[in-house]
Amino acid sequence: MAHSVLNRLDARSKILLTVLGAIATIAFSTLGAQLVLFGVSFVMVLLINRPMLVFVLYLLMGAMMLLASACTWVMASFIPSLGEITFGSLVIPFLRGLTMMNCVMGMALTTKIEGIMSALTQLRLPFMLTLPATVMIRFISTFTNDVAQVWETLKIRGWEMGFVFFLRHPYLSTRLLFTPLLFRALKSSEALGVAAELKGLDRGLQQKGAMNFQGQSNFSKADAWLFLGASFTVVMATYIELHWIEWGLNVTRLGVM
Amino acid sequence: MIEFENVSYRYAFQSDCAVKDLSFKVDAGSVVLVTGASGCGKTTLMRIANGLCPHYYAGTLSGSVKINGVETKDSSVGELSQTVGTLFQDPEDQFFALGVKDEMGFALKVAGVNAKEVDARIQKVAQRLEMESLLSHSITALSEGQKQRVALGEILVALPKVLILDEPSANLDPEATERLAQELKNLKNQGFAILVVDHRIHWLRGIADQVLVMREGKICQRGDFELLTNDAVRCEYGLREADVKDVRKTLTQTQNEAPILEASNVSFDYEKNNQSGGFSRFKRIFKTPEKVSHRAELLKNISFSLGAGITALIGENGTGKTTLARLMTGLNEGSGTFYLKGKETKASDLLKHAGLVLQNADHQLQMQTVSEEIGACLFAVGQTSNLQARIDELMQTFDLTPLAQRHPQSLSGGQKQRLVIACALAKDPDILILDEPTSGLDGANMQRVARCLNDQAQKGKAILLITHDLELLQLCAQHALRMDELKKNF
């Protein structure tokens, strides 16, 4: 778990913040409002205190967005009825993705897994949601460790991985990085599933169990400040959504998804 | 306590049964050892006993499996785990929380046991297993042996009646293995039913009441421990030795004539490493920084030399053996000076002259076939002439030729291990460093690895062998570097 000021926040606050982020990114559709959400969530992800990790995540997200843009462009070329694909029509969904990434990473890397599980249970969410959500969030830290080990192995083997190598051998680079990651991801997810079952999570976490874990954290002043900040952000985004519709890109409310 | 009656199991989408017609009992207060060559069905047997088959790994179970008189078919894995504690070969497979103390109390808290009682039980078990100092650590900062102790502690905290242990000694140093043997004796006397699945068998002499030898999913031999002292039986089933000499004290200090590698005043501390730059910084992008603890300064002013031949790096779990190997290859950044064949060389450049085989083979396999995997390693270091001949030579050396077209990730543990050693040798390194290369290997595969290492030593390579495997040491170690002696200046 990253050492960060976000560790002081209660797990329930971070989960609620993530849910609020998800609702807000869907509800708002103007560039101004999305930029507000993105800006605030970006500050939050920087607070996890791992700037290089954030940088690499943004690079990966950027690559994914480029790929998505290319695919959309190809589709639009063959199916003209899709209409013209403009930067304006893509930027909002991309901002939504980035905001959500910021919120989820901020929560996943600064919260104990038992805290997340306990919080989900106390929020009275059904077990069929809490278990997969817990395992998915737990998977993030396993996966980041796997990435580190795979990268290390490439160095041990003598691969001089870098931008030039990637340009010269794009297929080989992709294979070297992603094949072991794919197999590790399969194995790790299976192992996490087994571990969850053996620990009795297949029967669900009862409120008594959740309280056992919850004993480790409680709402504090920091949580109050968080909710105040989140409320202010939503109010600001709402104001911009209603009054600055034409600001930035001329994006209509329905044509952005 | 554990009762198998005519049990067969076929995994979903498989035409053959993984285990066939198994019948045996493990009574309260007894220990049963299951052994056999890799792929004989031991792991499936274990999964059936703890309910993972068929509840998690779908398939068809026939016959009757009872734990404490209750059919496993009629209970969930979670319910069974309150009676059955399972220790996996790779302890990381059973960890869910990320802190040692959190992990040890996890299952109990899920079950609704009062947090104070959980804490009291954790303290008691930690004291018993001499692991109190580990409680505040992050799981990722532990050595493999320490992880195994945590996994065992986690099971004991839950107070089960039945224990299933898969290769419990695989990552433990001989002293820790002895302590584990003693612990099993105590548990046996307390009435636990214990099923141990292991390749290493010598440590269970005087503890195992019954031995089951498996081959191709069936129990082929059964008897008391004396069965394993029969050379013909061990040879026929590819088993390890029943009596192993501890050669660690008889190995001489590494020779100093014409050293290939010399290290002078090597130091390492976690705190500095967390703040340093270069490759470590890039790796830390993904890896959570190690938690700084009393271990912060792990190695200080270590000096040694390494000549041609096989040198064993010996020391207890968590003393910094793997860290030292990583420093020698620039994967961790410390201070000190290295000399390669008399010439001062940066730690970061040493990797060009060294082959390093780490414990987890899965991370190291990237290509579509075994042949391509070795070819890619040769390509990575710029060897493009006589490529096919060199690939064939390496495959032949490590007995991989029949597997040339197999996908590397589909190989067994022993086959993967041989492949990663072949890959490490592809760059023709001056130094070969292996970290627990025979963990989880059966007798035949362990001997094959030992033969390969001996061949390489004869070719003049300096081989640093980090291992707790006494049989491997007996078969091929020539010299020793001892961590306690290296750390005298600490």
What percentage of chain B reaches a pLDDT higher than 90?
A: 42
B428: left (phi over 0), alpha (psi -120 to 50) or beta: left
Task: Give how far A162 is from chain B: nearest CA, Å.
Answer: 12
**What value does the mean pLDDT of chain B take?**
87
With an 8 Å Cβ cutoff, is A195 touching chain B? yes
How does pLDDT run across B384-411, given as a tens digit for each residue?
A: 888 899 999 999 888 899 999 999 988 8
Cα distance between residue A97 and residue A127, in whole Å? 26
Least confident of A145-154, A200-209, B224-233, B430-439: A200-209
A197: nearest CB among B78, B90, B114: B78
Domain ranges of chain A: 5-114+219-243, 126-214
Q: Kindly determine whether residue B52 and residue A194, on different chains, have CB atoms separated by under 8 Å.
A: yes
On the question of pLDDT at B169 being above 70, the answer is yes
What integer is the mean pLDDT of B22-29?
95
> Tell me, what's the pLDDT at B465?
94
Name the DSSP class of A250: -
Contacts of B114 in chain A (CB under 8 A): 212
What integer is the mean pLDDT of A53-76?
86
**DSSP secondary structure of A229-240:** HHHHHHHHHHHH
Cα distance between residue A201 and residue A199, in whole Å? 6
What percentage of chain A reaches a pLDDT higher than 90?
A: 19
What integer is the mean pLDDT of B334-350?
87
In terms of residues, how long is chain B? 490
What integer is the mean pLDDT of A123-139?
81
> Tell me, what's the pLDDT at A257?
38
Task: Give how far A68 is from chain B: nearest CA, Å.
Answer: 25
> Tell me, what's the pLDDT at B277?
46
On the question of pLDDT at A230 being above 90, the answer is yes
Cα distance between residue B200 and residue B470, in whole Å? 10
What integer is the mean pLDDT of B458-476?
92
> Tell me, what's the pLDDT at B26?
95
> Tell me, what's the pLDDT at A254?
39
Name the residue in chain A with its Cα closest to that of B117. A212
Q: Kindly determine whether residue A152 and residue B282, on different chains, have CB atoms separated by under 8 Å.
A: no
Question: Which of A212 and B282 is assigned the larger pLDDT?
Answer: A212
On the question of pLDDT at B286 being above 60, the answer is no
Q: Kindly determine whether residue A209 and residue B284, on different chains, have CB atoms separated by under 8 Å.
A: no
Q: Which residues contact A35 (CB under 8 A, 6 or more apart)?
A: A95, A248
How does pLDDT run across A132-171, given as a tens digit for each residue?
A: 888 888 888 888 888 888 888 888 888 888 888 888 888 8
Least confident of A78-92, A169-183, B20-34: A78-92
Question: Which of B441 and A82 is assigned the larger pLDDT?
Answer: B441
Question: What confidence tier does B280 reach under pLDDT thresholds 50, 70, 90?
Answer: low
How does pLDDT run across A47-58, given as a tens digit for each residue?
A: 888 887 888 888
Contacts of B365 in chain A (CB under 8 A): 179-180, 183
Most confident of A30-44, B239-253, B476-490: A30-44
Q: Kindly determine whether residue B140 and residue A193, on different chains, have CB atoms separated by under 8 Å.
A: no
Contacts of B367 in chain A (CB under 8 A): 175, 179
Contacts of B157 in chain A (CB under 8 A): none
On the question of pLDDT at B192 being above 60, the answer is yes
- If we measure between CA atoms, which residue out of B468, B383, B479 comes closest to residue B423? B383
Q: Kindly determine whether residue A3 and residue B94, on different chains, have CB atoms separated by under 8 Å.
A: no
Q: Which residues contact B235 (CB under 8 A, 6 or more apart)?
A: none
What integer is the mean pLDDT of A191-205?
80
On the question of pLDDT at A184 being above 80, the answer is yes
What percentage of chain A reaches a pLDDT higher than 70?
A: 88
- Residue A176 · residue B367 · CB < 8 Å: no
On the question of pLDDT at A256 being above 50, the answer is no
The CA R_g of chain A, rounded to the nearest whole Å, is: 21
Look up the ipTM and state it.
0.78
> Tell me, what's the pLDDT at B229?
93
Question: What confidence tier does B278 reach under pLDDT thresholds 50, 70, 90?
Answer: very low
B110: nearest CB among A156, A158, A200: A200
- Residue B349 · residue B330 · CB < 8 Å: yes
> Tell me, what's the pLDDT at B294?
47
On the question of pLDDT at B371 being above 60, the answer is yes
- Choosing among A122, A150, A153, which should be mutated to test the B contact, i.e. which has the most B CBs within 10 A? A153
